[in-house]
């Protein structure tokens, strides 16, 4: 596989569920990101990892918990989400932090 | 004031015309500028980047940067229906934070 792959593509969950989003990059990049994209709003940076260490956390609620076990894999663990968390969640990677981003196909999340 | 501002559109241009997409930014210390294209239901894709004042051309695309006026634009020559998408401007401001605009929706009509 090439590029940045994300699973699942679609996810429907209740507010009491626990689920995880997975991202894998095959580009040899050093940085990985989680972004949230909602209608009519700019892409919102959630988390940045550089060389497996978190370098930025943009005041994201604790119901979102990232995990970066190595430079190729990134997870976003979700628990007790709210309906307003429904959005497209995008994973991205880059060679250097905040450089040229390569995005995965995203996970469309619906919280009921 | 929004950090990165774009007109949401839609911007409608006929096939074969030049599409001009504009973006302004608030942080005068911004150093890197990117244009991403996002088709409906798809993820953003990097199409252009520019670091210095002036023009940068790549095929039918030209990025223009004017740091004094704090704007960056994207010109698409010979617009095609396949160019219909939302174009996101992104700016790396101070402290290397990459900030996105809300995007401009472009419609190329036959």
Identify the band that residue A2 occupies on the pLDDT scale cut at 50, 70 and 90: low
Residue B1 reports pLDDT greater than 70: no
pLDDT range class, residue B29, cuts 50, 70, 90: confident
Question: pLDDT category, A40, cuts 50, 70, 90?
Answer: confident
Contacts of B91 in chain A (CB under 8 A): none
Searching chain A, which residue's CA lies closest to the CA of residue B87? A42
CA distances, B38 to each of A42, B1, B27, B44 (Å): 13, 24, 24, 4
Average pLDDT over chain B reads 93
- Which pair of tokens denotes residue A63? 């119901």
CB contact under 8 A, A45 and B43: no
What percent of chain B shows pLDDT beyond 70? 96
The pLDDT value recorded for residue B57 is 97
Q: Chain B contact for A101, CB < 8 A?
A: yes
Instruction: Decide if B88 and A45 are in contact by the 8 Å CB cutoff.
Output: no
CA angle A64–A94–B71, rounded 5-degree value: 95
CB count in 10 Å sphere of residue A50: 19
The chain A residue lying nearest B98, using CA atoms, is: A98
Residues forming a β-bridge with A111: A13
Q: In this structure, what token pair is assigned to residue B31? A: 């150093």
Write out pLDDT tens, residues A63-104.
Answer: 999 999 999 999 999 999 999 999 999 999 998 776 799 999
Residues A42-63, mean pLDDT to the nearest whole number: 86
Q: Which of B43, B92, B96 sits opposite A103 (nearest CB)?
A: B43
- Bond preceding residue A8 cis, omega within 30 of 0: yes
Measured distance CA(A50)–CA(A74) in Å, rounded: 11
């Amino acid at each position: 596989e090439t590029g940045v792959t994300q699973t699942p593509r679609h996810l429907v969950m209740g507010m009491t569920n626990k689920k995880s989003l997975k991202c894998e990059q095959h580009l040899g990049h050093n940085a990985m990101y989680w972004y949230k994209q909602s209608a009519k709003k700019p892409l919102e940076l959630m988390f940045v990892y550089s060389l497996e260490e978190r370098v930025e956390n943009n005041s994201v609620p604790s119901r979102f918990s990232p995990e970066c076990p190595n430079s190729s894999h990134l997870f976003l663990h979700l628990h007790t989400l709210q309906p307003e968390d429904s959005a497209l969640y995008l994973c991205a990677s880059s060679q250097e932090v905040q450089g040229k981003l390569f995005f995965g196909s995203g996970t469309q999340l619906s919280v009921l | 004031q929004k950090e990165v501002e774009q007109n949401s559109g839609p911007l409608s241009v006929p096939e074969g015309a030049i599409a001009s997409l504009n973006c302004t930014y608030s942080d005068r210390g911004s150093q890197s500028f990117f244009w991403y294209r996002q088709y409906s239901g798809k993820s953003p894709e990097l199409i252009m980047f520019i670091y210095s004042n002036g023009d940068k051309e790549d095929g039918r695309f030209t990025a223009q940067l004017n740091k004094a006026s704090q704007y960056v634009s994207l010109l698409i020559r010979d617009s095609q229906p396949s160019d219909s998408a939302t174009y996101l401007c992104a700016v790396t401001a101070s402290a290397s934070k990459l900030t996105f605009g809300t995007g401009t929706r472009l419609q190329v009509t036959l």
